[in-house]
A and B are shown apart, each in its own frame.
Chain A
Amino acid sequence: MKLTVAGKNKEYADGITVAQLVELENVETPQYVTVTVNDEFVESGSFAETTLKDGDTVEFLYFMGGGSATLHQYRSID
């Protein structure tokens, strides 16, 4: 079936779940990703029960902080 994943046309096996797609797409920190299907949120606990269908549009929304490390942050890593 055809899916639009993060704006790109993709071909996946019929009837895969959101949880399977998260794995197939190598989603980073999957337990903290926000997923929408056709502009609706998928509850974070129900990825495995949410089956995708042909033509669905799926988006992954990621937490993004600042990426800046100040001196004491840098020191805490050394």
Chain B
Amino acid sequence: MAFTNEQLERYSRHIILKEVGAKGQKKLSQAKVLIIGAGGLGAPAALYLAAAGVGTIGIVDADEVDLSNLQRQVIHTTADIGKPKVQSAKETMEAINPDVTVNTYHTFVTSENVLDLIGDYDFILDGTDNFPAKFLINDACVMAKKPFSHAGIIRFKGQLMTYVPGQGPCYRCVFKNPPPKDAVPTCKQAGVIGAMGGVIGSLQAMEAVKYIVGAGDLLTGWLLTFDALKMEWHKVKLPSDTSKCAVCGDHPTITELVDYEQAECDMKK
């Protein structure tokens, strides 16, 4: 596949980078990335991945756009209120870049559908807001041998890590089991500064692009944290011994996917 003149111009700032080049841009155009959650993290990530010319982008979300989303979920506009988030996200991505094919999945992720959802994709972005989903995505990616970016944001803080099969610890290596519901602030009125989704979601898109083009070092074996009030970044080295992990270790005890109990406020209406 050769690039058209228009594509050469559209992607010129990528192609000029020695770490990307025409070769890397071609890899992007052939890549398939799945974004789970079209919210605070998924929205900015989707914008950058579409703009970058990732050939196929899947987006999963069961919700509709709500007024309270617009403070941070920059892929949706006021006119989109009431529309499925996946539909609104698809329209924006296609408007940014008609080269991109967007697949929408208007559903929650569950133990029943997660392997089917991730199966077709090369890289997964976890942009969910609750621990049951985060553990489910981790376990499914470990079982299906899929690389993924984990991230979380709350108040003025954010963090992310990248899992690549066989190259470092998974989310469960570090966090073991979901906290009991409501034990750790998530959906309660903890709040989050809107731009935090932009910071951390953009970094998730960055990891996906680097993975696809094969540039630099990923956050495998590291947890990168950001405190916006102090304007401090901290890169935490994660223990490299994964042998005892319940899902990615040498003798896994988790061999089937589980739906942990959702916190009450995360439950379907």
Q: Which residues of A contact B (CB under 8 A)?
A: 6-7, 29, 31-32, 34, 36, 39-41, 44, 59, 61-74, 76-77
Contacts and interface: CB of A to CB of B under 8 A. Distances in A.
A65 B265 contact: no
B192 A67 contact: yes
Q: Which 8 A-B pairs give the minimum distances between C-beta atoms?
A: A66-B129, A64-B152, A65-B186, A67-B192, A67-B154, A73-B265, A71-B66, A76-B265
A39 B101 CA distance: 42
A39 B237 contact: yes
Interface residues of B, number: 52
B175 A73 contact: no
A63 B184 CA distance: 7
A73 B239 contact: no
B179 A76 contact: no
Given A40-B241, A66-B187, 12 more contacts: A6-B234, A7-B236, A29-B184, A63-B152, A63-B175, A64-B152, A64-B154, A65-B129, A66-B129, A66-B154, A72-B269, A77-B265
A36 B239 contact: yes
Contacts of B265: 69, 72-73, 76-77
Counting chain B CB atoms within 10 Å of each CB, the highest count among A41, A65, A71, A73 belongs to: A65
A65 B187 contact: yes
A59 B37 CA distance: 29
Contacts of B176: 34, 44
A61 B191 CA distance: 20
Contact of B159 (A31, A39, A64, A77): A64
Given A69-B68, A70-B68, A71-B66, A63 B239 contact: no
B175 A34 contact: yes
Contacts of A67: 40, 129, 152-155, 186, 190-192, 196
Contacts of B158: 64
B154 A65 contact: yes
A65 B134 contact: yes
A69 B187 contact: yes
B76 interface: no
B188 interface: yes
A27 B154 CA distance: 16
B250 interface: no
A67 B200 CA distance: 13
Contacts of B84: none
Nearest to A64: B152
A70 B155 CA distance: 15
Contact of B37 (A32, A61, A64, A66): A66
A41 B257 CA distance: 25
A43 B233 CA distance: 26
Contacts of B159: 62, 64
Contacts of B157: 64
Nearest to B130: A65
B99 interface: no
Interface in B159-202: 159, 174-176, 179, 183-192, 196-197
